[in-house]
């Protein structure tokens, strides 16, 4: 019977080594991409928390601006009950609109 030649030629050996090295490099690249993806997700979460803080600060600034714009806060000025109601309504509308925009931006 004929015996199979199991010895590899130097060219075949080199080819197999290159294929194995290529596979190792591919696996290393996939691992690096996964690490980069995890890092990117962490940065996105940091940005989202910063955005939430900025939105809260914007709501606070809008409400303080609405209160400061009130003529009843000036010394010597007497405000009527109607002015007080209008001021409260203006501040409420400002806060509602700001909170609605914060909710919409969080849901996206």
Q: What is the pLDDT of residue 37?
A: 95
Q: Spell out the domain ranges in the chain.
A: 10-107
Query: Quick check: pTM over 0.85?
Result: no
Query: pLDDT per position in the chain (108 positions), as tens?
Result: 566 667 788 899 999 999 999 999 999 999 999 999 999 999 998 888 888 888 777 777 777 776 666 555 555 566 677 777 777 777 777 777 777 766 655 555
Q: What is the pLDDT of residue 50?
A: 85
94, 97, 102, 105 alpha-carbon torsion, rounded to 10°: -140
Report the C-alpha gap between 43 and 36 in whole angstroms: 11
Q: What is the pLDDT of residue 108?
A: 54
* Helix, strand, coil percentages in the chain from 3-state DSSP, rounded to 5: 80, 0, 20
């Amino acid at each position: 019977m004929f015996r199979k030649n199991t010895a590899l030629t130097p060219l075949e050996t080199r080819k197999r080594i290159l294929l194995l090295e290529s596979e190792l490099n591919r696996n290393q690249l996939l691992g690096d991409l996964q690490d980069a993806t995890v890092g990117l997700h962490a940065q996105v979460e940091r940005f989202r928390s910063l955005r939430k803080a900025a939105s809260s600060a914007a709501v606070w600034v809008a409400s303080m601006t609405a209160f400061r714009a009130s003529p009843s806060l000036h010394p010597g000025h007497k405000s009527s009950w109607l002015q007080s109601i209008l001021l409260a309504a203006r501040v409420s509308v400002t806060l509602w609109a700001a909170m609605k925009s914060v909710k919409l931006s969080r849901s996206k």
